[in-house]
Amino acid sequence: MRAIVVSATGGPEVLEYSDYPDPELNPGEVLVDVAAGGVNFIDVYHRMGRYPLSLPFVPGNEGAGTVAAVGEDVEGVSVGDKVAWANVMGSYAEKAVVPVSHLLMVPEGVEPELAAAVTLQGLTAHYLTHSVHEVKPGDDVLVHAAAGGMGLLLVQIAKLRGARVIGTVSTEEKEELARRAGADEVLRYKGFADAVRDLTGSGVHVVYDGVGATTFAESLAALRPRGMMALYGQASGPVPPIDPQVLAREGSLFLTRPSLGAYIATKDELAWRASDLYGWLASGELRVHVSRRYPLAEAARAHEDLEARRTTGKLLLIP
């Protein structure tokens, strides 16, 4: 098959489009012809070696497609089924092997490309708004990078739960996207903590921060006493070590650095989150903005665009 292969960590140039052995199908797994692979910042971290993996590897943690073969001990899945997955490596390829424990059936009315665009980030947005901090009607919520793929989903889901949503963006174009998704207020990054306090009086209940180094300190200042800082990513770089006493000084704040795996640890939890997610898609309550589709061979360009913040919404690779 053709795939993107990382043989050495580094910049986007290490994403090599080449021939690669077809994945081996083991018991409890299915082989999928990939229709689309989602591009996420965790793929950048893997490529750079920030989250080390054994070399060589095929990147990509999210995808969707059609079942081509079913391994032993797999029940309830047939050749031809439309499926999606998240938190399984290997989607930057024409074929992928997925453990049935991580497999999601794509319902009628949801195209595989749409499933590839929403599954990983949608599951993440679900656990952030339903489990890390259970958003309630009347909550004030701050979403950084509100026009990105994650940000647009967080804005919409927080609004579904009755929150007032404040977003941060860097341009007028991105502000328009965030407002269309439902953001009540949209700010630029400079001085956002003071602006948040002017809007709320006491700060927000929760900050959803996938930016990291450049927003972290001010995000703490934007929280109300006993507020939750959910640092789910580090697009601008890792956050330096923090003295826990800072959390006490800022008002007995809560800080968490969650990851998806811990919040889809059981099949039931994965099914719950996916059912909500695909249900919102089918009903039209949740919209996914796919900003760019790249041929698989152009994965390096997709990473360059993502890292340079030239994108809004979701990026897809099409084999």
Instruction: Look at residue 67 in the predicted model and tell me its pLDDT.
Output: 98
Whether residue 314 contacts residue 181, with contact meaning beta carbons closer than 8 Å, is answered with: no
Closest Cα to residue 29, out of 97, 106, 83?
A: 97
DSSP states along the chain: -EEEEESS-SSGGGEEEEE-PPPPP-TTEEEEEEEEEEE-HHHHHHHHTSS--PSSB---SEEEEEEEEE-TT--S--TT-EEEEES-S--SBSEEEEEGGGEEEPPTT--HHHHHHHHHHHHHHHHIIIIIS---TT-EEEESSTTBHHHHHHHHHHHHTT-EEEEEESSHHHHHHHHHHT-SEEEESTTHHHHHHHHHSS-EEEEEE-S-TTTHHHHHHTEEEEEEEEE---TT-PPPP--THHHHHTTS-EEE---HHHHS-SHHHHHHHHHHHHHHHHHTSS---EEEEEEGGGHHHHHHHHHTT---BEEEEE-
Instruction: Look at residue 313 in the predicted model and tell me its pLDDT.
Output: 82
Whether residue 289 contacts residue 121, with contact meaning beta carbons closer than 8 Å, is answered with: no
Angle CA(275)–CA(315)–CA(155) in degrees, nearest 5?
55
**Is cis: bond before 21, omega within 30 of 0?**
no
**In the block, which residue shows the tokens 């950048």?**
44
Closest Cα to residue 312, out of 185, 195, 172?
A: 172
- pLDDT mean values, one per 10 residues, the chain (319 residues): 98 98 96 97 94 96 97 95 96 97 92 94 97 98 95 98 98 96 98 98 97 96 98 92 96 97 94 95 92 96 93 92
Instruction: Look at residue 161 in the predicted model and tell me its pLDDT.
Output: 98
DSSP states along 107-169: PTT--HHHHHHHHHHHHHHHHIIIIIS---TT-EEEESSTTBHHHHHHHHHHHHTT-EEEEEE
208 has which bridge partners?
A: 143, 230
Six token digits for residue 108: 């009628």
Sign of CA dihedral 303, 19, 318, 278: negative
Whether residue 131 contacts residue 263, with contact meaning beta carbons closer than 8 Å, is answered with: yes
Query: CA 176 to CA 182: how far, in whole Å?
Result: 10
Record the pTM. Answer: 0.91
Query: CA 299 to CA 278: how far, in whole Å?
Result: 27
Six token digits for residue 119: 């599954």
Amino acid letter, 142: L
